[in-house]
Amino acid sequence: MNMALSRGLRCCQRVFSWIPVLIITAVVLWSYYAYVFELCLFTLKNPLEKVAYLLVFHVCFVMFSWTYWKSIFTPPATPCKKFQLSYSDKQRYEMEERPDAQKQVLVEIAKKLPIFTRAQSGAIRFCDRCQVLKPDRCHHCSVCETCVLKMDHHCPWVNNCVGFSNYKFFLLFLSYSMLYCIFIAATVFKYFLKFWVGELPNGPAKFHVLFLMFVALMFFVSLMFLFGYHCWLVAKNRSTLEAFSAPVFVGGPDRNGFNVGIRKNLQQVFGEERRLWFIPVVTSQGNGHYFPLKNRTSESHNPLLANEDMWDESDDGSEEGSLVEDQDPSVTIEMEE
């Protein structure tokens, strides 16, 4: 009975989670009708003005829709099998009755992995729900019910986790949303004034044009602050979670632990080919499991960092790592949800 109730609640939660996306979609579809039909086709008289407005508008609309689609339907990246407990490791872990012995099993597994961040207590991070050792910058999302690589936040407006796999798409979505709004506001403004002072006749177009102006400006102002905040995060190489709670390393918390300079920070998100920066295709560097650190001297404290080049991704998608023999035996594992 309880299990059936739990499944029903989860089903309802999944259905209701699409409401914000449906609201955005409805507003955008209405704006398309209001701009294309009520303004361009029914209000504008100059043919050249019509063509110019419609051409630029549809470019903005396509790029907005493309980036929004990619932000919604790009699955969150999750830790690979190297970070999951294998069948034999899981048996060893479950057979041990003493917590210290269980922690030691996880310590042995962590020796093979490029993990440099710690929990607040200084312990290696472990997700008890997903049964994985958490890679750097990885966090468990209670909404998606999985660990997400370089998790930034769970966004209800895209009904998805924003993280390593779609952070570039999310930033482009914000930028093209702003461009879409400011273009509408700039081109509608003249006719907004004409309707307002009564130079144009009253009709259905008046309501759509007036409302279009207010909605475009309202969304633009909201998006401007959000986009500016994420630009600052990219420049500092921080996620939203890391901005609120600094990542902890062997030497302690450090908000700038992953900050390797603005140029390299941008390249981590957008890639090295600048011509692809503004197109929603995958260009982000790395695989989301390892990120360069600001303080390279930490290699002397952790041999894993010195052997980062030996932990590469093979052609079949599985990582072939080099077993590092030495690690501080005092390191413990903290169980996190």
Percent of the chain with pLDDT over 70: 86
**Calpha distance 28→317 (Å, rounded):** 38
Q: What is the mean pLDDT of the chain?
A: 85
pLDDT of residue 41 exceeding 80, the answer is yes
Question: Residue 138 catalytic?
Answer: no
pLDDT of residue 3 exceeding 80, the answer is no
Q: How confident is the model at residue 202 (pLDDT cuts 50, 70, 90)?
A: confident
**Calpha distance 243→128 (Å, rounded):** 25
Q: Tell me the per-residue pLDDT of 247-260, one tens digit each, with 9 for 90 and over.
A: 998 888 999 999 99
Residue 182's pLDDT is what?
Answer: 97
Average pLDDT for 56-81 = 96
Average pLDDT for 321-335 = 39
**Calpha distance 306→110 (Å, rounded):** 15
| Max mean pLDDT range (2-16, 54-68, 126-140) | 54-68
Residue 172's pLDDT is what?
Answer: 98
* pTM of the full structure: 0.85
Average pLDDT for 137-149 = 94
Give strand ranges (E) for 69-145. 124-127, 132-133, 139-141
Kindly provide the b/e burial profile for residues 164-196, where b requires at least 16 CB atoms within 10 angstroms of the residue's own CB: bbbbbbbbbbbbbbbbbbbbbbebbeebbeebe
Structural domain spans, the chain:
1-76+164-209, 81-134
Of 127, 130, 147, 155, which residue is the catalytic one?
Answer: 155
Residue 2's pLDDT is what?
Answer: 63
**Calpha distance 192→189 (Å, rounded):** 5
Compute CA 285 distance to the chain's CA centroid, rounded to the nearest angstrom: 14
Percent of the chain with pLDDT over 90: 59
- Decide: residue 158, CB within 10 A, 0-12 exposed, 13-18 middle, 19+ buried: buried
Q: How confident is the model at residue 108 (pLDDT cuts 50, 70, 90)?
A: confident
Two tokens, residue 60: 């903005």
Q: Tell me the per-residue pLDDT of 280-322, one tens digit each, with 9 for 90 and over.
A: 999 999 999 999 998 754 443 443 343 444 444 443 444 434 3
